[in-house]
Amino acid sequence: MVDGTVSPDVFYVSKEAPFRIQESLIARKEKMLIADPEGGIRWVEVPQSRWGEPCLSQETISRLGRMAGIIEDHFGHPQDIEWALDDMDQIIFLQTRPLKIFTRKGIPSASELPELSQYPVLLETGVMGAQGVGFGPVYIVSQERDLVDFPNGAVLVARTPSPKLVTVMSKAKGIITDLGSSASHLAALAREFRVPTILNTHKASQILSPGLEVTVDATNCRVYQGKIEKLIEYSEEEPVNPFEDTPLFILFDKILTRIVPLNLVDPTDPDFTPSQCRTFHDLTRFTHQTATQEMFSLSTSTLTAPGEALRLETDFPLEILLMDLGGGIDKLSGNIKIKPDRILSWPMKAFWRGMQSMKWPGPKPLDIKGFASVVAQTAAESGGENRIYSEKSFALLSADYLNFSIRLGYHLSTIEAMGGQGDNENYINFIFKGGGATLERRDRRARLVATILEKLGFQVNQKGDLVDARLLHHPREEMEAILQALGKLTLYTKQLDMIMFNEAIVEWSIEEFFKEYM
């Protein structure tokens, strides 16, 4: 629940006996974790008839309410309590600690403020990430580069809840995303910045148009068209923290300045270095980013020692080595070659389906200048053509993971994909680099790749002939379709730099890819 993998059931309960449920928000439950008889836990499917069932009964909630009141009375102030139910339905308390409270005048609902009916309701879906009301013009963030021009006082609307959004939170009057969870990292940041935030609306980026003035009521998960003064006045009161003058709070506040603040936000910044790590958050951010980048440099490693890798049998003129990290390949004892149908890793299967659906690219219509640029570029490189074509492609596989470094002639693509049980764990990273023609033609092909990836929903950065893209928080079914598209794109772009002699070819090639292959 904390990492946003699943959406929780939420119950609002009276503090008076018999602790009746006043309001409930019941999440859809398609999977559940159970104790495995062989040890550990595992996910299983939930029968469809039970998808909408609440996880707790009124009787259990009444017991929880009564016992929570006893604990609060004992300590003398509100508590944040962690608990569990055992297999006999007994409540076991695991932890209790002071509850951090920000008091604010209650924000009225539509039933309590009749004049709200005068304003069109644009959205009334999603979950609250951070409470409050905000007003401003809609600003759509489709790519991270859009954050550079984010205006002060705007309402940020994005498809995915990227942590990069923290760079403009001090300017935002509200945040609305298509995906995400109230227990996600973005929601925690929004609460720290006290920005009204609605997550998991599914359709905000399609419904809300740039520049449209909206009032965001995050407490009631509603977005209205226009400016509603009666609601906005509630957001202008500064929250009061009843614990801020206590010695313990003052001590924690000093300690947290060395732990929580994040200064290393942009990995492309020249100051993204160990010497600039000023907090523990910076250290974890830097080490995570460095470790991820190392995964993409594995193509320079030697992974071909006997017994380490299996060769993939394919009709393509490629030498592909596979390494199983666990559950990725159905091995045959003693075999050093496998056929594609023995691959169990679903990300690799999806990507390979896309590649297999394409024909191996034949010679492109000859452009003399393009051909000459390839010859010149090859001659200028150390090792030339023999070095390029002698390098192998390889993939690291597990049941839910893929890291595939594939060389096609003069360019390298690296695809990393991970799909867990929850959408928040899912991601695809894609890196494209290289080419055999001049830098100008390689840049055109890179822009072609970047544009196609953006249309597929990726966040994309392009510098010269390097394309770095990522896609987060998509359901597995969508990821499979996107990985299949990446397989097609990988073969489609082979040798394209040779014919990239003008801008019109770039636009034509993009249109052809979606028309012919998608």
- pLDDT tops 80 at residue 499: no
Q: Judge if 228 and 335 occupy the same domain.
A: no
CATH number at residue 26: 3.30.470.20
| pLDDT, tens digit (0-9, with 9 covering 90-100), for 9-28 | 888 889 888 888 888 888 88
Length of the chain as a residue count: 518
Say which DSSP state 126 is in. S
Position 110, amino acid: A
Q: Judge if 23 and 43 occupy the same domain.
A: yes
Q: Which two tokens stand for residue 508?
A: 């034509």
Mark which of 72, 98, 124 sits at the end of a domain.
98
Per cent of the chain over pLDDT 90 is 21
Q: Which residues, 6 or more positions from 281, have their beta carbon under 8 angstroms from its beta carbon? A: 259, 260, 261, 262
CA distance between the termini of the chain:
36
pLDDT of residue 497: 52
Residue 133 contacts residue 196 (beta carbons within 8 Å): yes
Residue 240 lies in a domain: no
CA distance 408 to 435: 9
SS3 breakdown of the chain: % helix, strand, coil, rounded to 5? 35, 25, 40
Q: How many domains does the chain have?
A: 4
Q: Which two tokens stand for residue 246?
A: 């206590």
Q: Judge if 367 and 492 occupy the same domain.
A: yes
Q: How confident is the model at residue 369 (pLDDT cuts 50, 70, 90)?
A: very low
Residue listed under structure tokens 């159905």:
330
Q: Judge if 60 and 202 occupy the same domain.
A: no
Q: What DSSP string runs through 273-320?
A: SGGG--SHHHHHHHHHHHHHHHHHTGGGS---STTT-EEEP-SSS--E
CA distance 109 to 23: 14
- pLDDT tops 50 at residue 387: no
- pLDDT tops 50 at residue 388: no
Nearest residue to 418 (alpha-carbon basis) of 347, 343, 355, 326: 347
pLDDT of residue 366: 44
| pLDDT, tens digit (0-9, with 9 covering 90-100), for 502-518 | 677 778 778 888 887 87
pLDDT of residue 304: 43
Stated as kind and residue range, the H or E segment containing 401 is: strand 401-408
Beta strands 155-158 and 174-177, pairing class: parallel
Kindly report the three-state secondary structure assignment for every residue of 37-78.
CCCCEEEEECCHHHCCCCCCCHHHHHHHHHHHHHHHHHHCCC
| pLDDT, tens digit (0-9, with 9 covering 90-100), for 416-467 | 999 876 666 789 999 888 665 566 777 788 888 899 999 898 988 888 778 8
CATH number at residue 194: 3.50.30.10
**CB crowding 209-223: b at 16 or more within 10 Å, else e:** eeebebbbbbbbbbb
Cis preceding linkage at 18, omega within 30: yes
Q: Judge if 55 and 128 occupy the same domain.
A: no
Q: Which two tokens stand for residue 415?
A: 């695809």
Rg over alpha carbons for the chain, rounded to the nearest Å, is: 27
- pLDDT tops 50 at residue 385: no
Q: Which two tokens stand for residue 431?
A: 């890196």
Residue 414 lies in a domain: yes
CA distance 401 to 186: 24
pLDDT of residue 197: 93
Residue 393 lies in a domain: yes
Q: Which residues, 6 or more positions from 200, have their beta carbon under 8 angstroms from its beta carbon? A: 7, 125, 126, 127, 177, 178, 179, 180, 181
Q: Judge if 262 and 355 occupy the same domain.
A: no
Q: Judge if 387 and 331 occupy the same domain.
A: yes
pLDDT of residue 380: 40
- pLDDT tops 90 at residue 288: no
CA distance 71 to 75: 6
Average pLDDT of the segment spanning 482-501: 77
- Reported as half-sphere exposure (CB side, CA atoms, 13 A), residue 489 has a value of 29
Q: Dihedral sign, CA of 39, 45, 51, 53?
A: negative
Residue listed under structure tokens 């990273």:
429
pLDDT of residue 365: 46
Residue 390 lies in a domain: yes
| pLDDT, tens digit (0-9, with 9 covering 90-100), for 189-237 | 888 788 999 998 888 999 999 999 999 998 888 999 999 887 887 665 5
**What's the Cα-to-Cα distance from 319 to each of 123, 177, 403, 433, 486, rounded to whole Å?**
52, 42, 16, 19, 19
Q: Judge if 398 and 496 occupy the same domain.
A: yes
Residue 278 lies in a domain: yes
Q: Judge if 231 and 253 occupy the same domain.
A: no
pLDDT of residue 379: 39
Q: Judge if 459 and 314 occupy the same domain.
A: yes
Q: Judge if 217 and 285 occupy the same domain.
A: no
Residue 429 contacts residue 357 (beta carbons within 8 Å): no
Count of H-run helices and E-run strands, the chain: 12, 23
The angle subtended at Cα 164 by Cα 206 and Cα 232, nearest 5°, is: 60
**Mean of all residue pLDDT scores within the chain:** 80
Residue 499 lies in a domain: yes
pTM across the whole model: 0.54
Position 450, amino acid: A
Residue 361 lies in a domain: yes
pLDDT of residue 292: 61
Say which DSSP state 145 is in. G
| pLDDT, tens digit (0-9, with 9 covering 90-100), for 73-108 | 999 888 888 899 988 889 999 988 887 655 555 566
Q: Which residues, 6 or more positions from 470, have their beta carbon under 8 angstroms from its beta carbon? A: 427, 428, 429, 430, 458, 459
pLDDT of residue 135: 93
Between 236 and 139, where is the model more confident? 139
The boundaries of the domain holding residue 277 are: 247-296
Q: Judge if 509 and 461 occupy the same domain.
A: yes
3-state secondary structure of 83: strand
**CB crowding 112-122: b at 16 or more within 10 Å, else e:** eeeebeebeeb
Residue 169 lies in a domain: yes
Beta strands 411-418 and 401-408, pairing class: antiparallel
